[in-house]
């Protein structure tokens, strides 16, 4: 196995519920994972948390829509960025841009928070 990503897949039923509750602003709907670490290998342990809450939303108005997620009491991922779900993307935009949008544009709270079940996993990036 080469370099991979460690994090969580969003439970499919909870992904469906998010898509029903929140309108996707761009045509490419992602809404399926939360990254913990990228550039990992098979020795990197999977996270232990199995739940989170969607507590905010960010959108740059130019093709990146992301949802901020709180896991184990924090939205901060530990590397200066936030836990998030890339929700939808416009043409030519990439999921890795979500952290830049959250940092540069801030995020607005979602009340009440939306619980999401998370499945610890590893996938190829």
Is the pTM here over 0.85, yes or no?
A: yes
- pLDDT score recorded for residue 2: 60
The answer to whether the beta carbons of residues 71 and 52 sit under 8 Å apart is: yes
- pLDDT score recorded for residue 3: 77
- pLDDT score recorded for residue 124: 87
CA of residue 65 relative to chain centroid, distance = 10
- pLDDT score recorded for residue 1: 47
Q: How many other CB atoms are there within 10 angstroms of residue 113's CB atom?
A: 15
Per-10-residue mean pLDDT, the chain, length 125: 85 97 97 93 92 98 98 94 97 95 97 97 88
């Amino acid at each position: 196995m080469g370099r991979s990503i460690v994090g969580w897949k969003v439970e499919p039923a909870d992904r469906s519920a998010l898509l029903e509750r929140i309108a996707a602003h761009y045509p490419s709907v992602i809404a399926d994972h939360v990254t913990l670490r990228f550039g990992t290998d098979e020795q990197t342990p999977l996270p232990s948390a199995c739940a989170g809450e969607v507590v905010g939303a960010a959108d740059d108005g130019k093709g990146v829509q992301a949802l901020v997620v709180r896991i184990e009491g924090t939205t901060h991922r530990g590397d200066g960025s936030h836990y998030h779900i890339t929700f939808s993307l416009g043409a030519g935009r990439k999921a890795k841009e979500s952290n830049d949008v959250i940092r540069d544009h801030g995020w607005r709270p979602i009340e009440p928070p939306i619980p999401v079940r998370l499945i610890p996993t590893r996938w190829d990036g």
